[in-house]
Structure 1
Amino acid sequence: MELRDLALLRELDERGSLGAVARATRVTPSAVSQRIRLLERSLGLPLTEPVGRGVRLTEAGRLLAAGAIEVAAVVAQVEARLAAFRGGIGGSIDIAVLPSAGVVLLPSLIAALGDGIEVRVHDHDVAEADYAALTRDHDLVIGHRMAPTPLPGWRGLRVVDLLREPIDIALPLSHPLAAAASVRPADLAGQRWIGVPEGYPFDDVRIAIEQAAAASFSIVQRVRDNRLVEALVAAGLGIGMLPRFSTQRGGGIALVPLSGLPTGRTVSALARSDVAERAVVRHVLEVLERCAAAIVEADAVEA
C-alpha cells in the first residue's frame, strides 16, 4: 500500500470522478483506474463501485481515503520538524485569493516573507461556498464569509480567521449623507443602488437593509468587482457597499458606517488539514495572522 495510491482515493472522494482526479494529478483517467484496480487486487477488497456513468468509493475506499489524509498530515509534520532542524523555511506556496481580500493582505504578506519563499498568487472571485473546493488545487485559500461561524462546507479544512472587516455604505462625495458619522437603513430608503449579483453575500446585506427600512432600493447595476462599484458610485450613479480596509481612500467616494444592522465580513485562510501541516504553509499562516493584526490595529488607531 503506497501513499500515492491512497492519495488517489482521497482525490476521488473529494473530486467525484476519475476524470477530475486525472486532471488534478496530470495523468490519464485510465492510469488512475489502473492504479486503483492494482490496489484492490493487492488488498482483496473492492474500493470503487459504479454509479451512473462513473464510479464512487465503497465503504472500504472511503476508509482508506480518510487514512490518506491522516498519513499525509503525519508526513507533513515530520517534514516540518526536519525544516526546523535545518534552521530555515523556504520553498514555494500557491495561494488562491479573493481580490478584495488580497488587496488588504498580500502586499504586507509578500514583503514580510522576503525572498526565501516564492508566493504564486491566483485571484478568484467566487461564492462563499466555493472557497472550500479551491483548497484542492491550492496550498492556501484566502476568502471571506458574512456569517460569524465557518460554513458547513468548510468542515474538515483548517480555517484561520484573519480579521473582521466592516462593510460601509459607499456614497458619492456630493451626497447629502457623505459627511454623516453613520447612516441608518431608513436613511437609505429609495436610493439608487450599485449592487452585486444575486446570491453574493453583499446582496444579503442589501436585502436586510431593505427589510429594516421597509422600502426597496432602485438597483441600477449589479457588478462583482469592488473597483467598478467605487467608480460607479464616484460618478454619482448610485450608492453601494464596500469593505473598509480594501477600499482606496479618496477617489470621489465617502465610506459611512451603517448603524442598526450588523455588517462586516470575516476574511479567512483555508487549507486542507494535511497541507496546513507543511512547514511553509504553517509559516505563511503565522505571518498572515501578524499582518492581519497590524491592519486591524491601524484601523482602530485611525478611528
Structure 2
Amino acid sequence: MSVYTEVGRDQLIAFLADYAVGELVHYQGISDGIENTNYFVTTDKGEFVLTLFEHHDFGELAYFLDVMTFFFEHGIPSAHPAADRQGRYLKKLCGRPAALVMRLDGRGVANVASLAQCEAIGDILGQMHIAGQQFQSRRHSQRGPEWRQETAQRLLPMMEADQAALLKNELAFQKGYADLDLPWGVTHSDLFRDNALFDGEELRGIIDFYYACDEYLLYDLAVAVNDWCVDESGTLALRHYQALMSGYLQHRQLTDAEQANWNLVLRAAALRFWLSRLQDKLFPREGEITQIKNPDAFLKILQQHRHQPFSVDELQ
C-alpha cells in the first residue's frame, strides 16, 4: 500500500459521486506496503480505503473482490468492497482499476506481536482455511515457484557472491516444491502483521487480499509464522509459534505430509519475500509515497530455517 498514482480532490469527488457514501471530507495517501496505490478516504457517512491497482486488470481483480466478499459472508472479520449505484465493485480512476473498501477499526501490529495476538491470527487463519474449502473460484499463484525461479535469475547477476551461492543452493533444495502432495485451496498468502487490525488484543479484521490465490494451506501458515513468530534476528520465538499453532490447530490438524515438509515450506515462504523485497530494492518503482522493506529481514529468516530445520513436533 503506497502511492504511485496521485488522485486529485476533484477526481476523487467525481469518483465518489457514483457511490452512496456521502460527500468527501478528507483523504490522504497510505505509505504502508509496496504494491498498489492506497488512500484513506473519509466522507460524511463513513471511512473507506481507496485502492488503485498498479499491476492487475479488471478480469483479475474480480477474483480478489470475490474472495473478500466470500470471507466476509462466512463470518471472517474482513474488509468488504463497496458497490456503486449500479452494483459494481470495480471502477476506473486515473487510468487504473479502482475499488472502494470499507475501512475496518483497529491497527496493524507495528512491533513484536503479543502471544494473544499470535493465537488470534492462528485461530482466524484456521477458520479461513476451513471456510475456504467452499470457495469455487480458482487463481494460480503469481509468486509461486516459477516466479521465484525467474526472479532469482534476474537478481543473481546483481548479488554478492555469498548470497548468490546461497540463492542457487536454496533453489536447488526447493526444486520439488510444486509437486508436493499437500492440501491446498484459497489462501491469503500475505498475512503479515500490517494486514491484521487489532484493538488491543482483539482482532478486528483481516485486510489486503490482493495476493490471494490457490496455494498449499501450509504455505499460508508458513507466511504467518515467518512474520508473527520471529524476533529481529530472524530466530523463531518458540512461545509465539506455540500460541499461533494452538489457535490454528483448533480448526485443522496438519497431515503427515505437511508435517514432513514443514521446513521446506517455511523456506519457500521466506525465499518468496526475500526475493520480492530484494527486487524492490534493486529495481525500485517511482511513487509519491513509497516504502521499500528491508530484504535482509527475510534473508535472516531463511538462514535460520536452513541452519535449524525444526519439525512441527519439535516446536510444539
| TM-score (normalised: structure 2) | 0.26
Higher relative contact order (CA 8 A, sep 6+): 1
Give the greater-gyration-radius structure (CA).
1
| TM-score (normalised: structure 1) | 0.26
Which structure has more strand as a fraction of its residues? 1
